[in-house]
Structure 1
Amino acid sequence: MWERSLPAKMLYQLVIYAVSGMGNKTATILYPTLSDIPTTAKIDINDPVSCRNIASVILQPVNLEKVAELVSGDLGELRGYVIKIIS
């Protein structure tokens, strides 16, 4: 998703999740990467009448090489990486 656009179907589905009223009005999609270059992206969803922010969609990269390295090493570091991703 870092190198290509998020497919419209996926974005529409995430927007529906975000504005549904469940949780904190945020939908997050995790996507795999093999690099540290991709960064988290946030798409704000605004009410077309009031222009107020009503929800957000988060695109969160997960570096699979880093996860593989951490799985075979210090589980505390892995736990920290996972918490960083999901918070």
Structure 2
Amino acid sequence: MKEDKVVKLMDAKYRELWERSLPAKMLYQLAIYAVSGVGDKTATILYPTLSDTPITAKIDTNDPVSCGNIASVILQPVNLKKVAEIVFGDLGELRGYVMEIIRGKK
């Protein structure tokens, strides 16, 4: 939230989506969030990983009539090893990693 306005919708999942497939029900849930008109027309799934390999992925939701993009679902990995390494260290580094996640960077 920023100045009492929702700017981004995020949902944490406990399924490693790089190694295991994205269930349709999770995609539907986040797609509904994204098209709701709240925030920036995106909804982000934060999911845990222990690897540096996963990258951010984007799934567009298109209007069936115009075929234009109306919203997007972002799959954003959160490297738990990295979080564990920095959580007891430099708060600036932890803050930076959290901001990368929020902004959608790896």
Question: Which category of TM-score, normalised to the shorter sequence, fits these structures?
Answer: over 0.9
Determine helix, strand or coil for the equivalent of 2:40: coil
Aligned counterparts, 1:1-87, within 5 A: 1-87=17-103
The letter for the 2-side match of 1:21 is G
Offset of residue 11 of structure 1:
0.5
Structure in which a larger fraction of residues adopt helix? 1
Determine helix, strand or coil for the equivalent of 1:77: helix
Calculate the TM-score normalised by the size of structure 2. 0.80
CA–CA distance in 1 between the matches of 2:25 and 2:67? 23
Unpaired stretches in structure 2, ≥5 consecutive residues: 1-16
Runs of 4+ in 1 over 3 A off after TM superposition: none
The letter for the 2-side match of 1:41 is A
Q: CA RMSD in A?
A: 0.6
CA–CA distance in 1 between the matches of 2:92 and 2:77? 20
Residues paired across the two proteins, number = 87
Determine helix, strand or coil for the equivalent of 1:27: strand
CA–CA distance in 2 between the matches of 1:68 and 1:4? 22
Calculate the TM-score normalised by the size of structure 1. 0.97
Determine helix, strand or coil for the equivalent of 2:96: helix
